Amino acid sequence: MTAVASRELRDGEVVFVGIGLPNLACNLALRTHAPSLVLIYESGAVGAVPERLPVSIGDPALVTGSLMVCGMADVFQLFLQNGRIEVGFLGGAQVDRYGNINTTVIGSYAKPKVRLPGSGGAAEIAIHAHRILIVSKISPRTFPERVDFVTSPGQRVAKVITDKGVFERDAATGELVLTALYPGVSVEDVRAGVGWELRSRSTLDCVEPPSPTDLRLLREVLDPKGLYLKG
Amino acid sequence: MSLKDAVTRFVHDGDTLVIEGFTHLISFAAGHEIIRQRRRELTLCRLTPDLIYDQMIAAGCAKKLVFSWAGNPGVGSLHAFRRAVEGGKLELEEYSHFGMVARFSAGAARLPFWSLRDYAGTDLPRANPRIKSITCPYTGESLATVPALNPDVTIVHAQRADPQGNTQIWGLLGVQKEAAFASQRVIVVVEELVTESVIRSDPNRTLIPAAIVSAVVVEPWGAHPSYAQGYYDRDNDFYVAWEAISRDPAALARYLDEFVYGIPDRATYIEQQPALAKRLTARAQVCAGVNYGF
């Protein structure tokens, strides 16, 4: 999933990096096909080259050796709202049929069953980044027909990268459509993990497995302790 | 001034209080002192409540929380916060990060609100009616607005300041400058007190000027388990350990007894944990400096 996500990043792009798998994917791209990728963290580090895997989005390793460190007003106004961010990575507790993301509450807002952390920068990233990538494992809980709360709207979602297949947003209907499968996975396997009648594109691509270089970098260099890569 | 005196004098029951710092430079020392002095009915504001507000909520200091992301970064939930919200015991006013930054920017500029291109298509304005919109008088575009945030008191941890309060910060800057300028009172807590000549030798690094500072407190390691760039690393192990502590109210109460109520000050907290310095002290990576001559 991480290697597949990293392939979506093009060399020279400016990417707003989230913590966890997106961070791994960005750092993998930086070390393989996209050496000029510019990583911007919402904490204010621009052109960061973290020498260790940051546990938090405000890790001191993001500062050391970066190209620029700015305050958060600059991050949101001069970079994001200015339109300088090409790719934004988001995840969420729920992603729905139209790519809307919920990171706020499960249940009602007034009386939540589960109180989640909230938006952080996700609402404005979803609105301003030119292309949104979502990375998430498939399960009916994560992919309901409708999210309980729209934290981040789905209109700029380009791809949803899961552990079984890849969805893209249909330009006409705005709906997420299955466009690629991992080797050995059937359409039915994916549908079983999605809470709506998932449509498939007429011809499905096959997701290339990670290369030996990808695997070595991920397991030995980027996440040697297995903080984010489990199993 | 001691932190005890600064909190006694400048933080009152019922205040709107900000302890800022985005992951970096969070004044845990001040949060603990406020818990020790049993301040009540506070409106706590911060982008990321972090462990410090989780502890203050657990200790009964908070009436209301104004925030944009309430989790334990890279770990999971803030469980005292979740218990309070899921049990209906804490009032919330919720924004996104940009919304909170914009509120501080308006407060710092003494404007009534700030406009931003945000929230279209989200449910946040329905959850928080203080997020509104205006029509731009020049373009006709609809823009979101958020109200100014002008705290009673803002507490900022920093690397160094002079005795007057000219405060220098490097590394991640968060929203401290805006929060300090927006506030009625400002307490600065620093790793090191330096002379005015040190500040004058590198004026571009000054984030907060003495003119807006009410009190300067020297408190080495005052940000732990958060960090201070160039002084000590973030204590990620403690952030991970907080998951189990905060999940169990009894364990959380024991933590507060041992590390907050049971001790008089930050110096004791550090003496209590002699291994911290060895584990977290920053290695040197000094920049070349610049020529300020003319």
pTM of the model: 0.97
pLDDT tens column, B219-248: 999 999 999 999 999 999 999 999 999 999
A124 and B98 in contact by Cβ < 8 A?
A: yes
B172 and A121 in contact by Cβ < 8 A?
A: no
Q: For residue A60, which residues of chain B lie inside 8 Å, CB to CB?
A: 24, 171, 227, 229, 233-234, 282
Q: What is the pLDDT of residue A22?
A: 86
For chain A, list the domains and their CATH numbers.
2-222 (3.40.1080.10)
B97 and A19 in contact by Cβ < 8 A?
A: no
Angle at B105 between CA B101 and CA B107, to 5 degrees: 115
The whole-number average pLDDT for the span B76-101 is: 96
Q: For residue B114, which residues of chain A lie inside 8 Å, CB to CB?
A: none
From A57, A72, A152, residue closest to B122, measured CB to CB = A152
pLDDT tens column, B167-188: 999 999 999 999 999 999 999 9
Interface test with A, best of B20, B53, B69, B239 (most A CBs within 10 A): B69
B86 and A70 in contact by Cβ < 8 A?
A: no
Phi, psi of B167 (to 5 degrees): -120, 130
Q: For residue B175, which residues of chain A lie inside 8 Å, CB to CB?
A: 71-73
Q: What is the pLDDT of residue A55?
A: 82
Q: What is the pLDDT of residue A231?
A: 44
B98 and A59 in contact by Cβ < 8 A?
A: no
pLDDT tens column, A4-29: 999 999 999 999 998 778 889 999 99
pLDDT tens column, A172-211: 999 999 999 999 999 999 999 999 999 999 999 999 999 9
Q: What is the pLDDT of residue A229?
A: 81
Active site residues of A: 42
Q: What is the pLDDT of residue B256?
A: 98
User: CATH number of the domain at B3-112+148-280, out of 3.40.50.1370, 3.60.150.10, 3.40.1080.10, 3.10.20.340?
Assistant: 3.40.1080.10
* Per-residue H/E/C for A170-224: CCCCCCEEEEEECCCCCHHHHHCCCCCCCEEEEEEEECCCCCHHHHHHHHHHHCC
Q: What is the pLDDT of residue A178?
A: 98
E-strand spans in chain B?
Answer: 16-19, 42-45, 62-67, 91-94, 113-116, 132-135, 142-147, 153-161, 167-168, 185-193, 206-208, 215-218
From A71, A81, A104, residue closest to B175, measured CB to CB = A71
Sketch the domain layout of chain B as residue ranges.
3-112+148-280, 113-147
Interface test with A, best of B50, B57, B123, B177 (most A CBs within 10 A): B123
Q: What is the pLDDT of residue A226?
A: 84
Residues 6+ apart with CB under 8 A from B277: B221, B232, B270
Percent of chain A with pLDDT over 90: 86
Q: What is the pLDDT of residue B113?
A: 98
Pick the residue from chain B with its C-alpha nearest to A127: B118
pLDDT tens column, B183-196: 999 999 999 999 99
pLDDT tens column, A29-85: 999 999 999 999 999 999 998 888 888 889 999 999 999 999 999 999 999 999 999
- Confirm whether the ipTM is greater than 0.90: yes
